[in-house]
Amino acid sequence: MASWNSTGIDEDQVLVEERRFARILTLNRPKQLNAISFTMVSRLLELFSSYETDPSVKLVVVKGKGRAFCAGGDVSAAAHAIKESEWRKGAYFFRKQYTLNYLLATSSKPQVSLLNGIVMGGGAGVSIHGRFRVATEKSIFAMPETSLGHFPDVGASYYLPRLRGFFGEYVGLTGARLDGAEMLACGLATHFVPSERLTQLEEALCRADTSQPSIISAIIDKFSRTPILHEQSAYNRLDVIDKCFSRRTVEDILAALEEEALKKKDDWIDSTIRDLKKASPTSLKISLRSIREGRLQDAGQCLIREYRMACHVMRGEVSEDFIEGCRALLLDKDRNPKWEPSKLELVTDAMVERYFSRIEDEEWEDLKLTARPNLPASATSKL
């Protein structure tokens, strides 16, 4: 469990290797599948901030130790903070994490993330915002927050709606798992490299004395191959996904899927309906609105809005589904959450609206993100 009171930096959670003009950062909590802790966020923020002004650093490679890149944020610690009536400690973690996400999204130094394993939630936040995302045959991506009573955050409302069509709504609402081939096809990954070639790729990147994205991309291309989407891939169902997940409300999306299910027997449609019906109704509604708003907002605006939403989730004034989701999936592990409100129709527009409003607390303030002048085109496109 992350320590919300930690002021020291445990450098062992992020291993740093200096290789000429490159820095290799290894997320090092393998027993926790490299789940993002407060200590890890603090260390990464410190490192990436220093690299921005260090001319000797031209490239940053990020990877995970063990079978995961990063399985998400340490949500059990957040749930513990809420139970102890210390939601502000949880909010402070999200503030720091979203600040890191913003720095990565607008970094002047190319970041290459080697996504060789599980990439979920907070793990996406420390990789997808970077310039290059390398998937492998071992990659598993998901944003499973709606099943936890939370919502896809860490800037997901910026990158999900920028996937083709309405695939982002599908991924964000259902928590669907994608493999490396699907990540490449939909744009979450920029390259696909077989895992046995990652060491060679890393060596080649470390020999490169450049920050030029075109040169870095060409280096990765030498080790890349084009994977084959399996026949049952959700990405082969874009026509149905666009038809259903383009609907205005979650209720409309479900109705459209159920209409499709009546036309023909389809296990994928049936499982998609089940995933939606198992998720928190409140989470589904605030997640859909968040992703839709993100279509027209830049990365900073998305993170500022997500911080408001996260604080409301932590306070639990509208719904305590986050606590219940953590209990059912992570603590008691009965996998039978009792959502409240229990049905979509019981989650009113007024309830949803509250998640997007300012917190009524004198000590609370919106997330403040520092202006980022003199950025490369890849970063300014996100502003």
The pTM for the full model equals 0.94
Q: What is the pLDDT of residue 374?
A: 64
pLDDT over 50 (residue 1): no
pLDDT over 90 (residue 370): no
Specify the higher pLDDT residue, 218 or 330. Answer: 218
Specify the higher pLDDT residue, 375 or 19. Answer: 19
Cα 173 to Cα 1: distance, rounded to the nearest angstrom: 27
| 3-state DSSP assignment of residue 18 | strand
Instruction: At 73, give phi and psi (nearest 5°).
Output: -80, 160
> Which string of b and e fits 209-227 if b means at least 16 CB within 10 Å?
eebeeeebbebbeebbeeb
Question: Tens digits of per-residue pLDDT, 145-174?
Answer: 999 999 999 999 999 999 999 999 999 999
Q: What is the pLDDT of residue 381?
A: 61
Q: What is the pLDDT of residue 317?
A: 93
Mean pLDDT of 11-29: 95
Cα 149 to Cα 155: distance, rounded to the nearest angstrom: 17
Q: What is the pLDDT of residue 380?
A: 57
Q: Give 65: exposed, middle or buried? Use CB within 10 Å, 0-12, 13-18, 19+.
A: middle
Cα 298 to Cα 317: distance, rounded to the nearest angstrom: 28
Listed in sequence order, the residues at least 6 apart from 46 whose beta carbon sits closer than 8 Å to its beta carbon are 9
Q: What is the pLDDT of residue 65?
A: 97
Report whether 122 contacts 36 (CB < 8 A).
yes
Ramachandran class of 18: left when φ > 0, alpha when ψ lies in -120 to 50, beta otherwise: beta
Cα 239 to Cα 223: distance, rounded to the nearest angstrom: 32
Q: What is the mean pLDDT of the chain?
A: 93
Cα 112 to Cα 22: distance, rounded to the nearest angstrom: 10
Instruction: At 297, give phi and psi (nearest 5°).
Output: -120, 155
Least confident residue range of 7-16, 48-57, 253-262: 7-16
Residue 285: pLDDT band (50, 70, 90) is very high
Task: Give the active site residues.
Answer: 73, 122, 145, 153
Question: Tens digits of per-residue pLDDT, 62-107?
Answer: 999 999 999 998 777 777 777 777 888 889 999 999 999 999 999 9
Mean pLDDT of 315-339: 93
Q: What is the pLDDT of residue 8?
A: 43
Residue 371: pLDDT band (50, 70, 90) is confident
Q: What is the pLDDT of residue 118?
A: 98
Q: What is the pLDDT of residue 248?
A: 98
Cα 273 to Cα 370: distance, rounded to the nearest angstrom: 41
Listed in sequence order, the residues at least 6 apart from 332 whose beta carbon sits closer than 8 Å to its beta carbon are none
pLDDT over 90 (residue 281): yes
Residue 24: pLDDT band (50, 70, 90) is very high
pLDDT over 60 (residue 122): yes
